[in-house]
Structure 1
Amino acid sequence: MDYSTNDTSLPPVYLFITSNLNPFIFVVISLAGLIGNGLVIFCLLYFTNLKTVPNVYILNLAVIDLFFLLGLPLMAYQYHFHDWPFGVVLCKFANGMDVVNQYGSAWTLVAMSADRFTAVVYPLSSMQRRTRSCARMVCTVVVVWSFVLGAFNWIFATVVSFQVDDSGKEEQFCMLDIPANLTSMHIIYSAFNFTFGFAIPLAAILFFYMSIFYIMQTNDFYFRSNAKTAAQRASKRVAVLTIAVIVVFFICWMPYYTVQFKLLLQDMRNEGYTISLSVIQQLSIALCYMNSLFNPFVYTFIGENFRKNLAKLFCYGARNLNRGRSGRDSSSYTRSTVKLQPLKRHKTKATYYPSDVTIDVANERNNNTATTAT
C-alpha cells in the first residue's frame, strides 16, 4: 500500500487515516516539536549553567529533531493532497532527514548512555576525557554515521510521476524510486534498518542504563549530612530519567519495527498486504514521528535547572536574561553541596551524577590535605 494513493476502492478507514488523520498528526507534531526543540536549543546555548557535557548530547538530539520536523509538513501535504509540488531537492531533504533522524536519535541516545556509564564506572579517570569538546566530537561522528546509514534514502529519493486517468493527467509523488534490478534490496534494507536503527541501539541503551542502576544500588558512598536530601533527590531523578529514556524510545519505535518485520516476512513469502496491517502501519509511522515531539520533555523538562531557566525566560522577561546567564542556578545539586565522604575502611567506588549533580573529589582531597597539615 502506497500512502500517496488516492484509490477510492480502498476502505474508507484507510483513506481517512492516510489522507486526513496522519497529515493532521504530522502538522501538530511539527509545530509543537519545533517550538519545544527550539526552546531547548535556545536555553542550552544561552544559559551558562546549562552548558554541560550531557547537555551537548541533548543539544545534538534537539538539532537533529528540528531539521527533521522542518520537512514533516511537506510530507503531510503529500499525504493529504496526493501530490508533491516541492521539487527533487526538498524531496531528498524530507526523506533524507527522516532517516537521519531515525538513526541519529537512536545513536545519540547510545552516546548519552555511554557517557553516563563512563561517569559511573570511571568517575576519576574519565574527568579529563568527559569534556564538551570531546562530546561535540562524538556528536559529529554520530551525525556522520547517521548520514552514512541513511545514504540509501538520499540516493533513491526522487519525484515520480504517475498517470491518474485516461485523460493523461499526471500526479507527482516524493518516494524511493528503486531500479528494477534492485527490487530485492528492500528486504535487505528492512533488515539493515531494524538492526542498526533499533535492535543494536536499544540493546546498548539497556546495557548502559541497567549497569547504572546496578552501580547506584551497590555503591558504598557516604554523603555529608547537609547533602543527604540532595543526593536522594538526585538519585530519584536519575531513576525517573532512565525509565523515561527506555520507555519512550521503546513505545515510539517498537510498533513501527514490529509492523515492518511482519511486512518483511510477507514479502519473503510473496503474500499480499491486508488492509488492517496497512492501517496499523500508518499509525505506527505517526507514533514513531512523535518521538521527536517527546524528546524535549523527556531529556530537558525533567531537569530542574532547565525548568528554572525556562521560568526566568517567560516570567521575568528579556531584561533578566543577563542575570540568568551570569548567575549560577540556586539548585541544591551543585558542586559545593554534594561531596563524597567515604569511610576509611571502604574503597572509593563509582557513582553516578546527572548534568546538574557532580562529585567534587578534588575539593574533598584538598580539604583532607589541609586538615592533615593543620
Structure 2
Amino acid sequence: MSLANESCENAEDLRMYQHHVYAVVYSVILAPGLLGNVLALWVFRVYTRETKKAVVFMMNLAVADLLQVLSLPLRIYYYLNNTWPFGHHLCMICFYLKYVNMYASIYFLVCVSVRRCELIMRPLRYNSSKRKGDMLICAVGWLFVCLACLPFPLLRNPKSEQHNNTLSNVSVCFSELPMRAISEPAAWTLLIIAELVGFIIPLVLVLACTCLTAGSLRDLTAGAIHDRGEKRRALRMVLSCAVVFLVCFAPYHVTMPLDFLVKAKSLSNCSLRDLILRCHPVTLCLASLNCSLDPLIYYFTTDEFWRRLSKPEIPESMTFSRRLSCITGGEGPEDD
C-alpha cells in the first residue's frame, strides 16, 4: 500500500506505529521460535520411522516456521532503523517467505489434523505405503504453496516513483513497496481465492477433524481405536491445531479484505480507514506468532517429545528395536 496516497491519515505517524508494532512482536517471537523449532526437528528426526502419528507433517511444519524465524532478524533491523540496505532481491525473499510460512503452516496443520483423526477412526488403514504417500503429500504441498504465494512479491513494484517526500530518502521494503497496477476484478479474484483456498476450506477441515475426534470419545465406531487415552491425546493435538487457526490466522484473514478495500480507495470514512490500517499490522503479527506456538503444540500434545526429553535411553531402545526388526524382517514396532 502507498501510505502517501492516503489523504485521511498522517503517513509518517502511521508508518512509525507499524514499525514499532512489528519490531516489538518479531523481537519477542524470535528466540522461542528459533529454539522451539530447532528442538522439534531434533526430536522428530529420531522418531520419523518409529511412529506414524503425523510426525512427517510436523517436521515440515517446523521447517516452514524455521524459515520465517530465520528472516526475522532482517525484518527487525528494518523496522528499528527505518531503512533497508540489503538490496531488493533479499527484501523480496524475506517478503515471500512470510507468506510461504503462513500458508505452508496452514497446509501442514490441516495434514496433522486429518492424519491424527484418521489414525483414531481407521487405524488399520495406515501402512508403509501410506508413510511414503505422506512424503509425496508434503512435496506437493510445498510446490503448491510456493507457486500460490508468488503473486505476493510479484505484485510489488520497486521501480515506482517515490510518492511521499517523507519517504523519498528511505529505502523501503515489504508492504511499504508500492503495488503494481491491477484491475479491480483481478484483485478481487485473487483475494477470494486466497481467502477460500488459504483459510476457509482449511479451517472447515480442521474443525471437522476436531468434531470427529471428539465424537470418537463417545462412539465406538467399528475399526476405530478403543483406547480412550489415545483418543484424548489425539483430541488435544487436533484441538490445538484449531486454536492456532483461530488465534493466529483468523484475525489476519478478517482484516486482509478490509485492508484491500483501503488500498483500493473504496472506503471514504477516515476513522474506519485509520482503524483498519492500525489493526492489520497486529493481525499480521498474530499470523507470525504461530512459529512460536507450534512448538508448544508438539511439546504438550506429542508423546515423542516427552519420551525424547525425559528418557535419554530411548535412542538405545530404538537401536534394539531396529536390530529386532532386522532379525524378524519387519519394519519394527510402531506407535498407533
For the criterion TM > 0.5, the same-fold answer is: yes
The aligned residue for residue 24 of structure 1 is 24
Describe how 1:95-110 pairs up with structure 2 within 5 A: 95-110=95-110
| Percent of matched pairs sharing the same residue | 21
> How many residues end up aligned between the 2 structures?
314
Given that 2:43 and 2:304 are in contact with CA atoms closer than 8 Å, whether structure 1 keeps it comes out as no
Cα distance, 1:173–1:14 mapped onto 2, change above 3 Å: closer
The aligned residue for residue 187 of structure 1 is 188
The aligned residue for residue 291 of structure 1 is 290
Report the CA distance between 1:63 and its aligned residue. Answer: 0.2
Report the CA distance between 1:136 and its aligned residue. Answer: 1.3
Measured in 1, the distance between the counterparts of 2:309 and 2:97 equals 28
Cα distance, 1:182–1:71 mapped onto 2, change above 3 Å: farther
Describe how 1:200-211 pairs up with structure 2 within 5 A: 200-211=201-212
Measured in 2, the distance between the counterparts of 1:47 and 1:248 equals 24
The aligned residue for residue 86 of structure 1 is 86
Report the CA distance between 1:50 and its aligned residue. Answer: 5.7
Counterpart of 2:314 (choices 324, 349, 356) is: 324
The aligned residue for residue 233 of structure 1 is 229
TM-score by length of 2: 0.79
Q: Which consecutive unaligned segments of at least 5 residues does structure 2 have?
A: 320-333
Structure whose alpha-carbon radius of gyration is higher: 1
Report the CA distance between 1:184 and its aligned residue. Answer: 5.9
Measured in 1, the distance between the counterparts of 2:117 and 2:111 equals 10
The aligned residue for residue 339 of structure 1 is none
Measured in 1, the distance between the counterparts of 2:89 and 2:261 equals 33
Given that 2:248 and 2:287 are in contact with CA atoms closer than 8 Å, whether structure 1 keeps it comes out as yes
The aligned residue for residue 245 of structure 1 is 241
Superposed CA offset, 1:289-314 (max 9, x none): 101110111134422331231245xx
TM-score by length of 1: 0.72
Cα distance, 1:242–1:75 mapped onto 2, change above 3 Å: same
Cα distance, 1:164–1:222 mapped onto 2, change above 3 Å: closer
Q: Which amino acid aligns with 1:97?
A: L
Measured in 2, the distance between the counterparts of 1:170 and 1:16 equals 16
- Say whether residues 1:172 and 2:162 are aligned partners: no
- Say whether residues 1:59 and 2:55 are aligned partners: no
Report the CA distance between 1:106 and its aligned residue. Answer: 1.0
| Partner SS state of residue 85, structure 1 | coil
Measured in 2, the distance between the counterparts of 1:219 and 1:271 equals 57
| Partner SS state of residue 170, structure 2 | strand
Q: Which amino acid aligns with 2:200?
A: A
Cα distance, 1:247–1:59 mapped onto 2, change above 3 Å: same
Given that 2:157 and 2:178 are in contact with CA atoms closer than 8 Å, whether structure 1 keeps it comes out as yes
Superposed CA offset, 1:306-354 (max 9, x none): 1231245xxxxxxx6xx4322259xxxxxxxxxxxxxxxxxxxxxxxxx
| Partner SS state of residue 125, structure 2 | coil
Cα distance, 1:181–1:126 mapped onto 2, change above 3 Å: closer
Given that 1:114 and 1:208 are in contact with CA atoms closer than 8 Å, whether structure 2 keeps it comes out as yes
Cα distance, 1:158–1:77 mapped onto 2, change above 3 Å: farther
Q: Which amino acid aligns with 1:126?
A: Y
Report the CA distance between 1:48 and its aligned residue. Answer: 6.8
Superposed CA offset, 1:240-282 (max 9, x none): 2222211121111111111223334554744355222221112
Instruction: Judging by fraction of residues, say which structure has more helix.
Output: 2
Measured in 2, the distance between the counterparts of 1:99 and 1:232 equals 38
Given that 2:57 and 2:108 are in contact with CA atoms closer than 8 Å, whether structure 1 keeps it comes out as yes
| Partner SS state of residue 173, structure 2 | strand
Given that 1:4 and 1:82 are in contact with CA atoms closer than 8 Å, whether structure 2 keeps it comes out as no
Superposed CA offset, 1:42-95 (max 9, x none): 111135786545111000000011111111232233233222111122122111
Given that 1:60 and 1:139 are in contact with CA atoms closer than 8 Å, whether structure 2 keeps it comes out as yes
Q: Which consecutive unaligned segments of at least 5 residues does structure 1 have?
A: 313-319, 330-355, 359-374
Measured in 2, the distance between the counterparts of 1:222 and 1:185 equals 48
Measured in 1, the distance between the counterparts of 2:72 and 2:196 equals 24
Given that 1:49 and 1:325 are in contact with CA atoms closer than 8 Å, whether structure 2 keeps it comes out as no
RCO higher in structure (CA 8 A, sep ≥6): 2
| Partner SS state of residue 172, structure 1 | coil
